[in-house]
Structures are given as C-alpha cells and as structure tokens.
C-alpha cells in the first residue's frame, strides 16, 4: 500500500494515487477548507533536497500559478513538506487523450483536439514558458469534453541548470517518444513544443507514434536518423496538405519547422477550411531505408528529410534557373559572403575589450567549486586561464599543473579535469582535459553522461572515433546535425548500444554527451 494514503500534506488529505510518471506521483486529495477534491502532484526527489532546487521550484510554481487560460490546468497552490515539493491542481476525472490513441482518428477530429492545446501553448510561449513534456497523458478532458493541458513546467523544475538553451550539464527531461532531437541535449524552445504536439497529431491520425524502440537510447537514434514514416502508409486517403503539415511540424531541423505555435495553428485552420497549404513533401524513402540499419562502415545521414537550403513551396511547383544569370548569381553571392565576414570581423574587433574579464563559476561533480578567470583574447593573440587568488581546498591543491599560455587563441583548460566518471562503463573512454562538470542521469535503465571541454570539437571527435574502435565498439552510423553544430556516433557491442554526441562552438566549449543502454 502507498505510504502516502491517509496522510496529510499541508492542509490536504491524501486519498488515493491517480498516476505515476518518471518525475512525479499524482494523488487525489481533499481540501477541507474549501470542501473540494484536488489533484496533488508530488515531485520525486532523491535524498536530501537541494535548497537551490526548492528556490527554483517556488519561482516556477508562482509563474505557473499566474497562467490563466481555459485549456491550461490551473495551479491552485504549491508547497513543500518534509523535503517533498508539491503542486495542487483541480481534480479532473474525465480521462486523458491517451485512451484515444489506440485507434486511428479522422484527421479533422484530431486537428479539432490539437487546436485548443496549440492555443494554450501559444499563450504560454508568449509568457516565455515552454512545456517540454507534451504527450497524450498530459492532455486531460474537462466536463464539457474540452482538452486541458497539464504538467506545465514540470520538466523545467527538474532541470538543474534552469536554462532554455544548452547547459552541458545534463540531457533533456521529457518522454522519449515525443522529444525533439535537440531536446535530448537540453535545448528547448517554442519549436520543441511544436515537435511534440506534431507527434501527438501524428499518433492520433495513424494510431501509433512514428519512432518506437525498446530503450530511450534506441528512440533517440531513430529520432535523429530515421526519416519520418509517411502518415499515408497508415492512412492511404490522408490529404496531402495534412501530411505536409505533419512533415513540417516534425522536421528534425528546428529552423525548418513552424517557427511559432501560431504558424502551426494557422496551417491547421487552413486545412479545416479547405485551403491549400504551401509546403513541399520530402521525397519518398524506399522501405529498406525507412529504418536505421547496421552497416559495416560509418554512414552520414542527413538530419532532416528537408534540406536546409530548401525553401518551402507549393506542392508540384517547379523552378528552372536561368543559366545566363548563374555566373553572375554565384559571383554576387561570393562577394556578399566576403562582405558579411569582413563586417563581422571588424565589428568583433571593435567590440572586443581585452581588459574585461569573464568570471564564470563552474560547479564540479565530486570536485570542489573552482573560480576561474577567462581572459578575452585579442585577435591574433594567445589566451590563458588564471585561477583567482583564493585558498585552495584539499581536493584541488595537490599536484595541479600551472596554467601556461598557448600559441592558439583557446583558453587553457580548467583545474577541474577528471579522468574517471562514476558508473561510466570501463570500455567507454573519458575525454581529457575536461571541465569536470559531469552529470549522470538515469532514465528507464539508460545511463546518460554529460560534460564539457575547451578543446575543439574536431579533436574530441577524433579521440572518440579512435578510442571506441580500440575498445572493439562497432560503428552503427554517423549523423551530422548541422542545426545543432553537432555530430552523433552510434555504436554497438555485445548487447549494448552507445551513442556519443559531440556539440562544438558553444561559448568556446565543446559539450560531450554519452548514452549507454542494454538492448
């Protein structure tokens, strides 16, 4: 029996469990002061609660409580008791959208359900709130059958770095089948929610999610590499415009998706009104290429069925270039690129101030906190890292090398580099020097490791290619993800799958993320 049953949490009496997920448990409870039933979501924590987490929780809970939209489940109250943070919401007892995903739904009915949810998300996005965990189980139904979106901000509350952009300290939190490729690396913005809502629309129309596998790591591999299975495979009479909308919402490259939720809403409304939408469909992929294959040598697979250089145009339209103008177009393009680069270099030179110092604080796993100063490099001059004058802890005081200048405009490595990572399999290498900012995450039995280095991404990539080969890992595939300035290597060995994800050019750092799972 659940130990929470019959207990009180603040003024609320716990009655029975309603559901449990990877991040929280939901209970039905009774509020005696207002004589009503409520739903309490208790955020799952491990061990002692970090005070910073509670501060972040309170801040996010207040932001969520301010949202007032007919299709968003209201946050009524929040609190913390005995290390258990919780949110209080209205009790809705009319089921979720998940129960309707077992069978295919007519596209107009599916869009009719998705539109109110999209409107709720647009409302939240205008207030700089990203949902991050959109799925059928988080879409409830009110008394009148209206969809109500729940669990706003839960994923962000559990994100240790509380930033929308890449932090380099952990993989994104969400539900694997609905996560956009960039979310696995901790990146989430409005387009991430568009992708997840597009997956839900796909599932309602076809009766299944597009990417299915036994482990989160295998789902990630499919999300990044596999072309989207055409919805018309499952629904042959699906209109072209509906399929085109789904393809655009689920583009792997965020820059090719709908850029705002309002754009997505307009496209869906256009379909319901019988208007033509102006998106091209990707080329039909042969069945044998529709799934990830194991090959003897690495293969480079595009990150999206849409080419980044393609401009969406009406289906069936053609463009024939004027060959007489082609040399002039190429010459003009080259001149324009050179001019842009020159402007950027000049602007950067004028803006750079070598006397200004950046002073980031790096929190290190199992290593004392270290303050470092990064000297902003002049053009053509070297750069170095100098530790601030402060007493060193016992952890970092012994046998640490003195920082030295380099001949390249790259910062010298920090003093926090680690050579081993707890729980990392012995046959997976650790890149050194690194910044020691290691985070380990476990999700459904899959280990996920994340850390960063000041070394160039090409050096990191070469290191892992060589070391993994020496440790007898077989390359399954190589994926270039230009939108994220990243590359992902997929490996297999024995009954295990490993993925090495290297993202360069992120504030002078290269981020490394490794996912290991048993098949």
**Active site members:** 143
Long-range contacts of 305-310 (CB under 8 A, 24+ apart): 305/227, 305/228, 305/247, 305/251, 305/252, 306/247, 306/251, 306/253, 306/256, 306/280, 306/282, 308/253, 308/255, 308/256, 308/482, 308/483, 310/280
Residue 403 CA to residue 414 CA, distance in Å, equals: 8
DSSP run (H or E) holding 459 = helix 457-470
Which structure tokens are listed for 46? 């491990």
Q: How distant is the alpha carbon of residue 423 from its chain centre? A: 23
Residue 463 CA to residue 381 CA, distance in Å, equals: 27
Which structure tokens are listed for 454? 């000041």
Which structure tokens are listed for 341? 């680069």
300: left (phi over 0), alpha (psi -120 to 50) or beta: beta
Residue 135 CA to residue 153 CA, distance in Å, equals: 14
Nearest to 516 by CA among 414, 426, 407: 426
Bond before 50 cis per omega within 30 degrees: no
The shares of helix, strand and coil residues in the chain, as percent rounded to the nearest 5, are 30, 20, 50
**DSSP annotation string for 103-171:** S---HHHHHHHHHHHHHHHHHHHTTT-------GGGEEE-TTS-EEE--TTHHHHT-TT--SS--SSSP
Residue at token pair 């290429």? 289
Q: Are 91 and 13 in contact (CB under 8 A)?
A: no
């Amino acid at each position: 029996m659940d130990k929470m049953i019959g207990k009180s949490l603040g003024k609320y009496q716990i009655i029975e469990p309603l559901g449990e997920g990877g991040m929280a448990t939901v209970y039905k409870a009774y509020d005696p002061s207002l004589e009503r039933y409520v739903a309490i979501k208790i955020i799952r924590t491990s061990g002692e609660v970090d005070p910073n987490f509670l501060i972040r929780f309170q801040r996010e809970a207040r932001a969520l409580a301010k949202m007032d939209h007919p299709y968003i489940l209201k946050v009524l109250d929040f609190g913390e008791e005995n290390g258990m943070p919780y949110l209080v919401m209205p009790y809705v007892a009319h089921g979720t959208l998940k129960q309707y995903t077992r069978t295919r739904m007519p596209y107009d009915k599916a869009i009719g359900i998705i539109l109110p949810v999209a409107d709720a998300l647009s409302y939240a996005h205008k207030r700089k709130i990203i949902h991050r965990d959109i799925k059928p189980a988080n879409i409830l139904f009110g008394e009148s059958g209206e969809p109500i979106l729940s669990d706003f901000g839960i994923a962000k509350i559990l994100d240790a770095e509380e930033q929308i952009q890449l932090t380099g300290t952990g993989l994104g939190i969400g539900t694997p089948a609905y996560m956009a490729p960039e979310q696995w690396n901790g990146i989430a913005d409005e387009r991430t929610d568009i992708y997840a809502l597009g997956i839900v629309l796909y599932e309602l129309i076809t009766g299944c999610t597009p990417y299915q596998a036994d482990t989160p790591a295998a789902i990630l591999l499919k999300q990044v590499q596999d072309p989207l299975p055409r919805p018309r495979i499952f629904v042959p009479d699906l209109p072209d415009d509906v399929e085109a909308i789904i393809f655009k919402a689920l583009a792997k490259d965020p820059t090719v998706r709908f850029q705002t939720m309002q754009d997505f809403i307009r496209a869906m409304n256009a379909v319901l009104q019988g208007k033509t939408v102006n998106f091209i469909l990707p080329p039909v992929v042969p069945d044998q290429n529709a799934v990830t294959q194991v090959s003897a040598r690495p293969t480079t697979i595009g990150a999206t069925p849409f080419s980044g250089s393609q401009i969406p145009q009406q289906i069936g339209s053609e463009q024939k270039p004027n060959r007489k103008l082609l040399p002039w177009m190429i010459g003009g393009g080259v001149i324009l690129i050179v001019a842009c680069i020159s402007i950027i270099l000049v602007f950067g030179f004028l803006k750079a101030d070598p006397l200004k110092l950046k002073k980031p604080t790096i929190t290190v796993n199992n290593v004392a906190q270290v303050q470092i100063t990064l000297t902003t490099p002049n053009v053509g001059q070297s750069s170095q890292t100098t530790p601030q004058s402060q007493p060193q802890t016992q952890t970092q005081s012994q046998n640490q090398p003195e920082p030295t200048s380099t001949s390249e405009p790259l910062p010298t490595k920090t003093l926090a580099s680690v050579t081993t990572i707890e729980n990392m399999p012995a046959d997976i290498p650790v890149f050194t020097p690194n910044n020691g900012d290691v985070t380990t995450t476990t999700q459904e039995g899959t280990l996920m490791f994340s850390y960063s280095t000041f070394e160039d991404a090409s050096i990191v990539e070469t290191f892992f290619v060589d070391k993994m080969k020496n440790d007898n890992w077989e390359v399954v595939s190589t994926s270039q993800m230009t939108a994220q300035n990243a590359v992902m290597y997929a490996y297999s060995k024995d009954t295990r799958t490993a993925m090495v994800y290297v993202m360069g050019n992120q504030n002078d750092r290269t981020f490394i993320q490794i996912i290991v799972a048993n098949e």
